[in-house]
């Protein structure tokens, strides 16, 4: 060690070295992020590299921590919806639905929510899922340098978000779902507009597929990089497309159907090797399956109300609020005190864009959550990142990290 | 339509420039020289200076500047975007063309930042080392045939007949393309120094990647063009253009198709643009110029575009007949026994314009590639360079040598 120090300080000249192995080398510590283009501004990886090979990686998350769980404790049950929008901000509808289902489970009204509302929840959820997968696929291509693919995917995502904006009034932070139903019914001709999008979205997916699947450079970057075995993925607790890429067909929608998912005919695409390319094609196929579900949902959707008929849970209609004393009191109580949820605790899980999105909520009988914990799938998936990038080149971090689709809002909460 | 416009605007600009270039070099300077007070105008040093100066000011810089606009507009078209359209000169927005002026103003006005621990001298030197070689290499590029100032309005059959002809090439050197390789190798110092002097680990990685990549691909580049040397029997670009002649069947692309593809690939790697942009790799190592801002960065940026122009010029010269217009001989068009005679000056302007069209075409083609492909990984790039391109180029040399030898033996070369 002393010898090394001397040489580093220049006392021993390089020409004096007996053999090449005498050359003093030391690993370099490299700080990747949080202000690094590939790290989304929300992750920091402290790398120890030898040349370009990562020898050690310390993944640090939490730069986008917004105290979701603590904030929720100060909000009424309904006021938590805008916070859930900001979990996975690429597919907010899925978070809305997941949270609503958890509260309804605790209220014991899960079965009583009108069928039309359940169908609409499936519809908006699957649209969000397509948007989520499109974002992941296109951003993954972009960070490998294929900027054009990114814009194609983003264009398609924007079509979906435009429709969701028409539905909810907000492009990203929809806050569309309510406990016991929905904020509004579908807009006129919504089904036609969505169905008219499918040929265009399919064309975009086909374009992406055509330009990447047979592209030697892309395949070299994706094939066999970021590999993980089924056992390791399971032991980390992976779910969602990343788990399915290893060949395990666990999908909450199939395994534990919620809403009306048991009425649809759809497949769960699985990969075989668990590498980045498998994750890519699993996402691509899932986007197509979501369109299948949507087509069936639009055929089956019944008419009727979109909200439960229960004044303790659902706000009264505005004319009633302004013209009747009962309506006004009911409105006041729900807004100020919140919905009274019976004491107890419940864990409810749905299939989010990245995997099992779980809400563990505890109520003490008041109008506000006593505890609202989120099992963000990204957080669990990101925990495996360090294992997957060690002993690989620095360049492999990019596709591996991208195909995990780590969304800061959901991971750091 | 849009892509045609993208080609037509630079082409129109170039035609104007070609007229100005030929006008000054072939008409104005001889006119000055014809007076007793202007004998200095025929001084070879002055001639070389004025030729290189005009070539750079009238052709290279406008095309490089337009390329920044072309790149943005073309990528926008490929990606279904609108692209730059905001900047305007007195309300004239011209499809976003004024943006390159706005960009230049922005870069000049920005803070000239040097990191505290950077080596100031080398930090300043690096951008110069990057841009000066690419300017110097333009000295060997022939941009037209020979102007005979005495007979510009006559029809002449052979430009070698006139006594005081002015060659439209700055430096007629026997080493020709070897000079280009020698000077272009200097450019690697620019990138390596930039990476090293910035005192930033990421830029150091980028600089190392750049030096390894550029050195590896120089080998293939030299090997690929050796076949063309053998076929044309010369290293001098102007002589190569004469050897190719106006008939496209004799052009380099027909005689050396493999060499052309190999050279184009390797030279694209030299320009360090996607898919070979691993030294920059904005989502991986961010790039050797990560610490550069303002016009210092702008110089790297400009050098990259000038390299693109230069690569196109060499591609056109060696493999696509340089300034030769198909079937345009020095006295006019000859095709299938029909002839269309033209004055000398028209022929020269047509030829210079044709050279510009070829250059712009290859620029356009490189932009297409740049916005289509993802990026290599460094080790895959080395594999491609050393294990695939180099063996193929050596095989190309052997085959070419065999064929040339056979023709020589047959005495019909």
Find out whether A205 and A288 touch, Cβ atoms under 8 Å: yes
Q: What is the largest CA-CA distance in chain A?
A: 96
Q: How far apart are the first and last CA of chain A?
A: 45
The two structure tokens encoding residue A129: 């899922």
Confidence at residue B117, expressed as pLDDT on a 0 to 100 scale: 80
Which residue in this structure is represented by tokens 């489970």?
A105
* Interacting residues of B131 by C-beta distance below 8 A, sequence separation 6+: B190, B299, B300, B302, B303, B306
| Structure confidence by residue, pLDDT tens digits, A259-298 | 888 888 888 888 888 888 888 889 999 999 999 899 898 8
* pTM of the predicted protein model: 0.83
Confidence at residue A411, expressed as pLDDT on a 0 to 100 scale: 85
Q: Helices B177-197 & B294-319, crossing angle to 10 degrees?
A: 160
Q: Please tell me if residue B81 touches chain A, with a CB cutoff of 8 Å.
A: yes
Confidence at residue A11, expressed as pLDDT on a 0 to 100 scale: 42
Which residue in this structure is represented by tokens 């006129």?
A188
Report CB contact under 8 Å: A215, B78. no
The two structure tokens encoding residue B42: 């025929």
| Structure confidence by residue, pLDDT tens digits, A75-122 | 888 888 888 888 888 888 889 998 999 998 888 888 888 888 889 999
* B284 vs A142, A151, A398: nearest CB: A398
Alpha-carbon span B46 to B30, nearest angstrom: 12
Interface test with A, best of B74, B195, B206, B283 (most A CBs within 10 A): B283
Which residues from A are below 8 Å from B371, CB to CB? 147-148
Confidence at residue A22, expressed as pLDDT on a 0 to 100 scale: 61
Alpha-carbon span B259 to B275, nearest angstrom: 20
Which residues from B are below 8 Å from A201, CB to CB? none
Is residue A247 over pLDDT 60?
yes
Q: What average pLDDT does this structure show over B354-365?
A: 85
DSSP B311-375: HHHHHHHHHS-TTPPTTEETTEEEETTEEEE--HHHHHHHHHHHHHHHHHHHHHHHHHHHTT--P
Quickly state the pLDDT bin for B413 (edges 50, 70, 90).
very low
Q: Please tell me if residue A389 touches chain B, with a CB cutoff of 8 Å.
A: no
Which of A13-17, A228-232, B134-138, B261-265 comes out lowest in average pLDDT? A13-17
Which residues from B are below 8 Å from A217, CB to CB? 275, 373-376, 380
- Most confident of the following: A11-15, B160-164, B229-233: B229-233
CA distances from B328 to A26, A250, A404, B323, B341 (A): 64, 70, 59, 10, 10
* A144 vs B81, B205, B375: nearest CB: B375
Interface test with B, best of A395, A398, A402 (most B CBs within 10 A): A395
Interface A-B, measured as beta-carbon pairs within 8 A, has a size of 79
Confidence at residue A360, expressed as pLDDT on a 0 to 100 scale: 92
A283: nearest Cα among A155, A153, A410, A159: A153
| Structure confidence by residue, pLDDT tens digits, B167-177 | 777 777 788 88
Which of A300-314, B35-49, B311-325, B338-352 comes out lowest in average pLDDT? B35-49
Q: Which residue of A has its CA nearest to B290?
A: A36
Which residues from A are below 8 Å from B378, CB to CB? 52, 393, 395
A405: nearest Cα among A378, A380, A384: A378
Find out whether B302 and B128 touch, Cβ atoms under 8 Å: no
The two structure tokens encoding residue A119: 């169908």
Which residues from A are below 8 Å from B274, CB to CB? 145
Is residue B330 over pLDDT 60?
yes
Which residues from A are below 8 Å from B380, CB to CB? 217, 220-221
* B374 vs A36, A215, A394: nearest CB: A215
Alpha-carbon span B168 to B313, nearest angstrom: 14
The two structure tokens encoding residue A153: 């995917």
Alpha-carbon span B50 to B22, nearest angstrom: 12
Find out whether B169 and B89 touch, Cβ atoms under 8 Å: no
Q: Which residue of A has its CA nearest to B273?
A: A145
Is residue A395 over pLDDT 70?
yes
DSSP B153-209: TS--S-GGG-TT-EESSS---SSTHHHHHHHHHHHHHHHHHHHHHTT-HHHHHHHHH
Element (H, E) at A412: helix A408-412
Report CB contact under 8 Å: A217, B284. no
Is residue A66 over pLDDT 80?
yes
* B377 vs A36, A38, A221: nearest CB: A221
Q: What average pLDDT does this structure show over A403-412?
A: 84
| Structure confidence by residue, pLDDT tens digits, B61-117 | 887 888 888 888 888 888 888 888 887 787 777 777 888 888 888 888 888 888 888
């Amino acid at each position: 060690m002393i010898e090394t120090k001397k040489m580093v300080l220049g006392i021993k000249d390089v020409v004096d070295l007996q053999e090449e192995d005498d050359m003093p080398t030391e690993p370099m510590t490299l700080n990747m992020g949080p202000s690094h283009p590939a790290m989304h501004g929300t992750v920091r990886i402290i790398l120890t590299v030898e040349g370009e090979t990562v020898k050690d990686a310390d993944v640090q998350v939490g730069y986008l921590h917004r105290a979701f769980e603590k904030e929720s404790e100060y909000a009424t049950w309904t006021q938590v919806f805008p916070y859930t929008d900001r979990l996975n901000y690429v597919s907010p509808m899925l978070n809305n639905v997941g949270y609503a289902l958890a509260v309804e489970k605790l209220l014991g009204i899960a079965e009583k929510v009108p069928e039309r509302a359940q169908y609409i929840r499936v519809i908006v959820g699957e649209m969000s899922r397509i948007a989520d997968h499109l974002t992941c696929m296109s951003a993954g291509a972009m960070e490998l340098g294929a900027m054009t693919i990114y814009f194609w995917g983003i264009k398609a995502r924007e079509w979906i978000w435009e429709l969701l904006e028409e539905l909810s009034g907000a492009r990203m932070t929809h806050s569309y779902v309510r406990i016991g139903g929905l904020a509004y019914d579908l807009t006129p001709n919504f089904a036609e507009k969505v169905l008219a999008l499918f040929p265009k979205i399919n064309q975009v997916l086909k374009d992406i597929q055509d330009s990447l699947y047979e592209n030697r450079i892309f395949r070299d970057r994706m094939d066999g990089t970021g590999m993980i075995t089924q056992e390791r993925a399971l032991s980390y607790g992976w779910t969602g497309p990343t788990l399915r890429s290893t060949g395990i067909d666990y999908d909450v929608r199939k395994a534990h159907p919620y809403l009306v998912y048991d009425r649809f005919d759809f497949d769960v695409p699985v990969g075989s090797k668990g590498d980045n390319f498998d994750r890519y094609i699993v996402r691509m196929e899932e986007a197509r399956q979501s369109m299948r579900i949507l087509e069936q949902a639009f055929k089956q959707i019944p008419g009727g109300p979109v909200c439960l008929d229960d004044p303790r849970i659902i706000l009264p209609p505005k004319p009633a609020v302004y013209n009747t004393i009962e309506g006004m009191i009911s409105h006041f109580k729900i807004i100020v005190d919140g919905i009274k949820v019976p004491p107890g605790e419940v864990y409810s899980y749905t299939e989010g864009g990245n995997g099992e999105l779980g809400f563990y909520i505890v109520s003490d009988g008041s109008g506000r959550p006593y505890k609202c914990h989120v099992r963000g799938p990204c957080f669990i998936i990101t925990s495996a990142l360090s294992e997957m990038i060690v002993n690989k080149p620095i360049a492999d971090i990019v596709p591996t990290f991208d195909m995990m689709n780590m969304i800061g809002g959901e991971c750091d909460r | 339509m849009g892509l045609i416009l993208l080609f037509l605007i630079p082409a129109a600009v170039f035609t104007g420039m070609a007229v100005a270039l030929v006008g000054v070099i072939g008409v104005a300077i001889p006119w000055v020289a014809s007076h007793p007070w202007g004998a200095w105008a025929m001084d070879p040093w002055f001639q070389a200076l004025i030729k290189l100066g005009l070539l750079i000011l009238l052709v290279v810089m406008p095309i490089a500047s337009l390329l920044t606009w072309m790149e943005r507009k073309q990528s926008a078209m490929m990606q279904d975007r609108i692209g730059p359209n905001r900047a305007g000169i007195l309300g004239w927005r011209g499809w976003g063309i004024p943006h390159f002026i706005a960009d230049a103003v922005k870069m000049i006005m920005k803070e000239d930042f040097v990191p505290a621990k950077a080596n100031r001298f080398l930090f300043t030197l690096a951008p110069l080392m990057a841009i000066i070689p690419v300017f110097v290499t333009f000295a060997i590029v022939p941009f037209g045939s020979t102007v005979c100032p005495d007979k510009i309005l006559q029809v002449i059959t052979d430009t070698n007949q006139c006594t005081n002809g002015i060659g439209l090439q700055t430096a007629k050197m026997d080493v020709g393309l070897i000079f280009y390789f020698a000077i272009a190798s200097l450019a690697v110092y620019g990138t390596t120094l930039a990476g090293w002097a910035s005192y930033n680990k990421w830029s150091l990685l980028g600089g190392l990647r750049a030096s390894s990549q550029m050195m590896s691909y120089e080998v293939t580049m030299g090997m690929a063009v050796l076949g063309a040397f053998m076929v044309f029997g010369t290293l001098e670009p102007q002589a190569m253009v004469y050897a190719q002649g106006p008939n496209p069947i004799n052009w380099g692309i027909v005689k050396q198709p493999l060499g052309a593809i190999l050279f184009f690939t390797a030279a694209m790697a030299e320009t360090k643009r996607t898919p070979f942009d691993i030294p920059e790799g904005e989502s991986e190592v961010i790039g050797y110029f990560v610490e550069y801002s303002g016009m210092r960065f702008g110089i790297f940026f400009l050098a990259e575009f000038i390299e693109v122009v230069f690569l196109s010029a060499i591609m056109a010269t060696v493999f696509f007949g340089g300034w030769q217009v198909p079937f345009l001989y020095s006295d006019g068009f000859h095709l299938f026994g029909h002839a269309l005679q033209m004055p000398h000056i028209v022929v020269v302007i047509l030829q210079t314009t044709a050279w510009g069209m070829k250059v712009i075409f290859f620029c356009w083609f490189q932009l297409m590639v740049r916005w289509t492909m993802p990026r290599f990984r460094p080790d895959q790039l080395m594999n491609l360079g050393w294990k695939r391109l180099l063996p193929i180029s050596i095989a190309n040399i052997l085959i070419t040598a065999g064929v040339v030898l056979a023709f020589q033996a047959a005495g019909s070369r």
